[in-house]
Structure 1
Amino acid sequence: MPTLAPLTDTAMPWAQAHATARAAAGPLPAIRVPVAEAAGQILAGPIRAAVTAPGFDTAAMDGYAVAGPGPWQVVGRVLAGRPAHPRPLRPGDAVEIATGARVPAGTGAVVPYEDCHRDGGTVSGARTARTHIRRAGEDAAPGDLLVPAGRPVTAAAVAAAAQVGVEEVLVRPRPGVGLLITGDEVVLRGRPGPGQVRDVFTPLVTAVTARAGGEVQASRRIGDDPDLLREAIDASPAAVLVVTGSSSAGAADHLRTVLHQRSATWHVDGVACRPGHPQTLARTPGGTWIVGLPGNPYAGLVAALTLLEPLLATLAGRRRQPLPVAPVTGEAATLPRAARVVPVETGPDGARIVPGARSASLRAAATADALAVLGPGWSPGGAAPLLHLP
């Protein structure tokens, strides 16, 4: 069994580290974007109607617009997008009408096709309490609140905004993320050769970033060289820079040294959890957030959900939500002063530990729904917070 590096004195309790990452930053400054490009972002200002909706009385069904009691004489036809009927209807008149078409003045109701019978130029049928007319302004008047600030822009919100004439909305931008994959042994594509390993962090960080509302803008691999790492950090334009595989204290781990040389402000310097202890959160004097992930894949996943996702969620303007908590069953070796993070399958009765989790392997996590954070006092059946997997 490999020897685990001891937890450092600066290691922060897991719950505190997760909360620190959520609270360390503030939302990015708002920007104005076309409403069609805003889906998935968080509103920094409300969406208010720009025009009346509907803009005119419109048919809600295919059928006949009628005036007065029946039977009615058909005096015309109106289709959606076509010119309106040239004169108001008089009692006894009917105009064949399509859904979405402008209702003629004087119309008392639209009688659907299925509720009437036509014989030549005469239509008969029974009017009901429903008029099947959408009146002008019944959905919105100019200035009406459609979606308040702080809410995500859903597909329905995009369509509704377009419906009331909104062209642009004020949103929090997606945080830009840069990814630095360190390690002389890492290859980005193809089958690894002797002594090499395949990059797993590009897809992992991309998925976590997307769920948190961010966007990976650049990804590159650099060798285990402190000068290369320093240059890459200094040159990164991203709001958040994720560095993988250089956050521990080994001979090839240079992130902590470089950040100290750059007088970075440390928010998290190690987390009291297994796996994933050597994870870091710092900010450079230039304002770049640095998230250091351990190089072992499962440990890196734990760290990404512990620090990266909550940081990005705050930058993206997302509301803070408490983590779900569920009873967890199965076997896991707890730690006296740290949390054990295990993959679990979730169900209606709680969560069950997926066996076989190891720091360097993602096999168990690949079949899991979430990670459970088991505190020192956990025992089978006890409750634990869950980190759902993207």
Structure 2
Amino acid sequence: MNGPRERGRPGGADAADRALDDAVALANGPATARPGSRQPSTDPLVVALGHEPAGAGPAQARTRARQRPDAVAWPEARRLARRVGRRLDPRALPLGEDLLGMALARSLTALTDLPSFDSSAMDGWAVAGSGPWRLKGQVLAGQQRSADALLGGHAVRIATGAVLPPGTTAVLRSEHGSTQLRTDGEWLHVLASHSAPRAGQEIRRKGQECRGGEELLPAGAVVTPAVLGLAAAAGYDELTVTMRPRVEILVLGDELLDQGPPRAGRVRDALGPMLPSWLRGLGAEVTSVRRLVDDAGTLHAAVAASTADLVVTTGGTASGPVDHVHPVLAQLGATLLVDGVAVRPGHPMLLAQLPAGGLLAGLPGNPLAAVSGVLTLVDPVLRTLAGRPAPAPYAAPLTANVPGHPVDTRLVPVVFDDESAARPLHFTGPAMLRGLAAADGMAVIPPGGARAGQETAVLDTGALAPAWGSGA
């Protein structure tokens, strides 16, 4: 299955963040453009999506504010979430698997030329001049002693990766040549079925991949297995990375079961099994996952004692009789940064600054609504803390009409077809995970809905990232 079209980003991390958020700000605009309300051509949304979107602007934001004064607009909530945190401290750590998923705290620069010497790209013979060539000795990879210079008409057997003798003009592959022992020595010939090697053929030149001091990867690049290999090849023994944000997950609810099918008015806990690996895929170190009963004192003690960079709670963010998150935050003296977001599902989500300096993201208890909270608040917070850049925005046309909320953004699971169009999935209620489990991403649906063929932003959920994180 093909993925969506990926648009380029303007230079600079802040510009990239604005491009992403402006791309998904399609959710702020009506389905049809107003006369005379065209965006300037330098608008980041135009840069990100490659076309002029339907009219959107401050008037729509003011309308929503009047209708829902408690709810932060969805793109603004993402911006706030990204800006409240501070990148965690860098640390130099030994090169190894423990670095996977962390972000480079500084750019990776070449310590020397790569390759650092001229070498053979193939097993065969290093030759000088035109053949036939008189053979003289061999050169192996890792050989400490420098090989003697080759004179014209001479050759030496050579292994892949071995240093080329001075005077080498090309390397003849072992399968392209044959040797003949004569009274005047051993001679090398090119097989009749092959042509003579061109000058420079099968030679890895010094500095072919990079020159010393050249940037190999920018700061913020996520360490993957390939990055470990590149760093090792470049001569690094350790890398300076931003530490993983420490996250504690508190799953709230007396109605939750740990095992067996739902029964007797109780439901299985879906978020306890789902969120830890999801957040690890976003670069977090999940220090603990705890189930708490619906009790204000228990929640107060757990949050007050936490030393995590981010506490994530599930459930208890609305105004029901056992929804204790708001009262507990007030008792702790926390500062509410986001209290409700104009998005469906997931409106009753929140973000707060705790007195000790950590952050708390309160997610709704319904599973799909909680995922909406992860994409809206948790993902941007973790990216800032971990020093990871925002991914480039995706844009894709919808294959079908999608109804919208009158004033709120909708996040709808979609799959991409062979033409990179987004097909909306069913089973998208706040408590449903069936649609999400089959999804390639979450489409951003503007207030009022979107029509088939209309291009919209699609969020990569990050759910398919390996445990060490993908960065996408």
| Shorter-chain TM-score above 0.5 | yes
Q: 1:114 to 1:359 in 2, by over 3 A?
A: same
CA RMSD of aligned residues (A): 2.5
What residue in structure 2 maps to residue 386 of structure 1?
Answer: 458
Deviations 1:75-104 (A, max 9, x none): 212222345465333333321111012223
> By how many angstroms is 1:129 displaced?
2.4
> By how many angstroms is 1:243 displaced?
0.3
> By how many angstroms is 1:333 displaced?
4.4
The 2-side partners of 1:358 and 1:38 are apart by 38
What residue in structure 2 maps to residue 104 of structure 1?
Answer: 165
The answer as to whether partners of 1:140 and 1:164 remain within 8 angstroms in 2 is: no
Letter in 2 for 1:123: L
What residue in structure 1 maps to residue 327 of structure 2?
Answer: 257
> By how many angstroms is 1:332 displaced?
4.8
The answer as to whether partners of 1:293 and 1:300 remain within 8 angstroms in 2 is: yes
Q: Does 1:21 align with 2:91?
A: no
SS at match of 1:364: helix
Per mean C-alpha deviation after superposition, the further-off stretch among 55-64 and 81-90 is: 81-90
Q: 1:237 to 1:332 in 2, by over 3 A?
A: same
The 1-side partners of 2:444 and 2:149 are apart by 70
> By how many angstroms is 1:245 displaced?
1.2
The 2-side partners of 1:76 and 1:190 are apart by 73
The answer as to whether partners of 1:77 and 1:85 remain within 8 angstroms in 2 is: no
Q: Whose RCO is larger (CA < 8 A, sep 6+)?
A: 2
> By how many angstroms is 1:259 displaced?
0.6
1:351 pairs, out of 411, 422, 441, with 422
Name stretches of at least 5 consecutive residues in structure 2 with no aligned partner: 1-66, 191-195, 464-472
Q: Does 1:341 align with 2:411?
A: yes
Deviations 1:125-150 (A, max 9, x none): 33412243324444445433322323
The answer as to whether partners of 1:78 and 1:84 remain within 8 angstroms in 2 is: no
Letter in 1 for 2:267: V
- Tell me how many residue pairs correspond in the alignment: 384
Q: Does 1:367 align with 2:438?
A: yes
Superposed, which structure 2 residues align to 1:204-353 within 5 Å?
A: 204-321=274-391, 323-330=393-400, 332-347=402-417, 348=419, 350-353=421-424
Letter in 1 for 2:330: H
Q: Does 1:88 align with 2:154?
A: no
Q: 1:229 to 1:54 in 2, by over 3 A?
A: same
Q: 1:63 to 1:358 in 2, by over 3 A?
A: same
The answer as to whether partners of 1:43 and 1:148 remain within 8 angstroms in 2 is: yes
The 2-side partners of 1:118 and 1:379 are apart by 72
What residue in structure 1 maps to residue 13 of structure 2?
Answer: none
The 2-side partners of 1:84 and 1:304 are apart by 59
What residue in structure 2 maps to residue 32 of structure 1?
Answer: 92
Compute the TM-score of the two structures, normalised by the length of structure 2. 0.74
Q: Does 1:188 align with 2:258?
A: yes
Deviations 1:164-208 (A, max 9, x none): 211222222221211001112223344455333222113432343
Per mean C-alpha deviation after superposition, the further-off stretch among 121-130 and 202-211 is: 202-211
Letter in 2 for 1:220: R
> By how many angstroms is 1:270 displaced?
0.9
SS at match of 1:181: strand
What residue in structure 1 maps to residue 187 of structure 2?
Answer: 122
Q: 1:84 to 1:112 in 2, by over 3 A?
A: farther
The 1-side partners of 2:392 and 2:207 are apart by 39
Letter in 1 for 2:172: V
Compute the TM-score of the two structures, normalised by the length of structure 1. 0.89
Which structure has greater strand proportion? 1
Letter in 2 for 1:354: L
What residue in structure 1 maps to residue 230 of structure 2?
Answer: 160
What residue in structure 1 maps to residue 20 of structure 2?
Answer: none
What residue in structure 2 maps to residue 172 of structure 1?
Answer: 242
Q: 1:328 to 1:53 in 2, by over 3 A?
A: closer
The answer as to whether partners of 1:225 and 1:252 remain within 8 angstroms in 2 is: yes
Name stretches of at least 5 consecutive residues in structure 1 with no aligned partner: 1-6
The answer as to whether partners of 1:68 and 1:92 remain within 8 angstroms in 2 is: yes
